[in-house]
Structure 1
Amino acid sequence: MKVAVIDLGTNTFHLIIAELTADDTSICYKTNLPVRLGEGKINDNFIIQEAFERGLLALEKFSLLIKEHEVELVKATATSAIRSAENGSSFVKAAKNYAGIDIEVISGDEEATYIFKGVRATGVINGTALIMDIGGGSTEFIICNKEELLWKKSYNIGAARLMQAFFHSDPITTADQNAITRHLDAELSDLKDVLNLYRPKHLIGSAGAFETFTGMLYPELNLKETKHYPIDIPAYKALSATFIASAHEEREKMPGLIRLRVDMIVMASILTDYILSAGNIEKLSLSTYDLKMGVLADLQN
């Protein structure tokens, strides 16, 4: 059966088309479009008109591709930006009317479960691990081993939310960094408790910013053919420090840093640094599989 999975993220809409058989998943086509759904007012829980229209145009393009590939089943999931927006339900209705796509708005818990299923499918989980998925609107944390999910939670501390609330200077000032740290201290107190309980030493970053970190540290690596990859922590920390100390114009010129992440990578770096320290993490890895592949894994079963 040919299926399409659409992930309507805060920054990017993703489409994967795959052929599912009884025991295999074969990717036929994949693409993404930068829609920046959280632009301007994500912390006011509102999708501005320009972003609303970009989202619908992206879904219209996806709809044409789905027809072209003769897809039999479409699974479209919406996460933080649509979940929290007061006009999110209006977007869901408009998507159905404009592009013929039915969207399921999933909870943070459901999002975390799909992320776990996607990451587990790479084979990277070995022992107790902490999975981290930095989105634009939310960030999910999952503590697990390869057999089961032990704990999960979604927090409204995505890169776009942090940027709109705290990124007041460029390069970001120490004062703004300290404000972010205080915010994370307040928001993530229960995460620290479970980190002390389960003591995972392996942090697995799910796609997104972690693909950027990995791609820039290991430019010879073909990420499209990679399911998971180890990241040297000292090398990551040096890269993170470079991002945090740099201005927008400098980051724009960095090879391997896509335009959509030029500013958000600063927030992703600060957040990742915080977790590495808070969890006393000893091992860091990339998983190129995330929510989308988790949805595919779910459909496979």
Structure 2
Amino acid sequence: MKIPRASGGLSGYEMRLATIDVGTNTALLLISEWTPEGLRVVHQAGGYVRLGEGLGTSGRVSDAAMGRLRGVLQAHREAARSWRAEHIIVTGTSASRDAENRDEIRKMVLEETGADYQVLSGEEEANVTFEGALAGWLDGRTYDGPVTVVDVGGGSTELAQGMWHKGKAERTSAVSLNIGTVRLTENFFTAQPAQAHEVHQCRAWIAGMMDAALGDFLKCVPLVGASGTAHVLFHLHRTHREASGNMKWVDLDYWATELLIKTKEDIHALAPSRMAGRADVFPAGVMVLKEAFRSLDASEFHISEYGVRHGMALRYFRELQIG
């Protein structure tokens, strides 16, 4: 979608792009531009949509969820206009892949943003996340070797691994697993805190999926988290445990255990602004991160501020340069 520029000049202005990642639980906006140094983040915003609510039972995104999505898309469109983005890209992931009424979502996206709705396959999502996450994690960092990226979403979890060598990344493996936070919470937990047998069944399910899918992945390499779940977990670890740096197995084990015995209200109170629309599904997300770390026998857990929307922006700007 081409957006009319607001009147008045903008010092140092270069072409700006809006990328919107419509996930199972949130719809995230990035306004970015390309500079000689690479991608520059201009503005970011989020919005709670919970498209996956009841999706596993009905097979459809509900009217209530569609209404939430419309409101968030309208807000993101206005932000794109305000920040003078010239083009909008909108992508969908797990919930949109699964929904029988995905064409209704596509129509709404076109109505509210003027953009075609690009529903990514699981492998495409893993690849785009890998590109985006590494760009954020490696910014100013000296590293050479293998790395794994994990993105825990509301409907699915993507893992991608590759080699970083002399400033270039080569992806070697990628998988998408239907073990997202909303999906797991609805399928396994009847209350919060969850009952012990529910936790056991959920953990066994996640572990089985991970171990079956990650056999070709290298072990004992850094694991980089690229999702909201990972971002919020790092925030909790730094504020409530007064910790700094990367996380180890013992840290993930601590938080997975601690969160599973708390009520939704207790979890929300840990970080009210960050837990909005997330507190009820957050324990399941941390369980996924813990099992990914275990299955990969990761050396340590890092965080990247970039994800799908950043990866899509990188691809767009690079294609412009090539073209």
Aligned to 2:190: 168
Q: After the TM superposition, which parts of structure 1 deviate over 6 Å for at least 4 consecutive aligned residues?
A: none
Contact (CA 8 Å) 1:59, 1:101: kept in 2 or not?
no
State how many pairs are aligned: 293
Tell me which residue corresponds to 2:52.
38
CA contact 1:160–1:264 (8 Å) conserved in 2: yes
**1-structure distance, mates of 2:261, 2:82:** 46
In structure 2, what is the Cα distance between the partners aligned to 1:120 and 1:294?
9
In the TM superposition, residue 126 of structure 1 has moved relative to its aligned partner by 4.3
| 1:66 alignment partner AA | A
Amino acid at match of 1:217: H
**Match for residue 178 of structure 1 among 193, 196, 200:** 200
Decide which moves more: 124-133 or 242-251.
124-133
Q: Does the aligned pair in 2 maintain the 1:206–1:288 contact within 8 Å?
A: yes
- 1:216 is aligned, of 236, 248, 264, to 236
CA RMSD of aligned residues (A): 2.2
2:33 aligned with 1:16, yes or no? no
Residue by residue over 1:58-83, the C-alpha shift from the partner in whole angstroms, topping out at 9 and shown as x without a partner, is: 11222222223332221111111112
Give, in whole Å, the separation in 2 of the partners of 1:133 and 1:101.
25
Percent identical pairs in the alignment equals: 24
Q: How does 1:136-155 map to 2 (within 5 A)?
A: 136-146=154-164, 147-155=169-177
Given candidates 240, 248, 255, the residue that maps to 2:256 is 240
Q: Identify which range, 148-157 or 55-64, moves more after superposition.
A: 55-64
Aligned residue number for residue 29 of structure 1:
43
Cα pair distance change 1:117/1:192, threshold 3 Å = closer
CA distance in 2 between partners of 1:245 and 1:78 (Å): 33
Note the C-alpha offset of 1:137.
0.8
Instruction: Return closer, same or farther for 1:188/1:45 CA change in 2, 3 Å cut-off.
Output: farther
Unaligned runs of 5+ in 2: 1-14, 319-323
Partner of 2:317: 300
Once structures 1 and 2 are overlaid, which stretch shifts more, 128-137 or 233-242? 233-242
Q: 1:135 aligns with which of 132, 140, 153?
A: 153
Offset at residue 168 of structure 1 (A): 1.4
What SS does the corresponding residue of 1:170 show, helix, strand or coil?
A: coil
> Counterpart of 1:97?
111
Give the one of 232, 253, 260 matched to 2:269. 253
Shift of 1:40: 2.4
Q: Of 230, 234, 253, which residue of structure 1 is paired with 2:246?
A: 230
> What CA deviation, in whole Å up to 9, does each residue of 1:255-289 have, x standing for no partner?
36512221211101221222222222221111111
Q: What TM-score do the two structures reach when normalised by structure 1?
A: 0.89
In 2, Cα distance between the equivalents of 1:135 and 1:9?
Answer: 7
Asked if structure 1 preserves the Cα contact closer than 8 Å seen for 2:207 and 2:295, the reply is no
Name the CA distance, whole Å, in 2 between partners of 1:50 and 1:263.
18
Residue of structure 1 aligned with 2:178, choices 148, 156, 162:
156
Matched position secondary structure for 1:76: strand
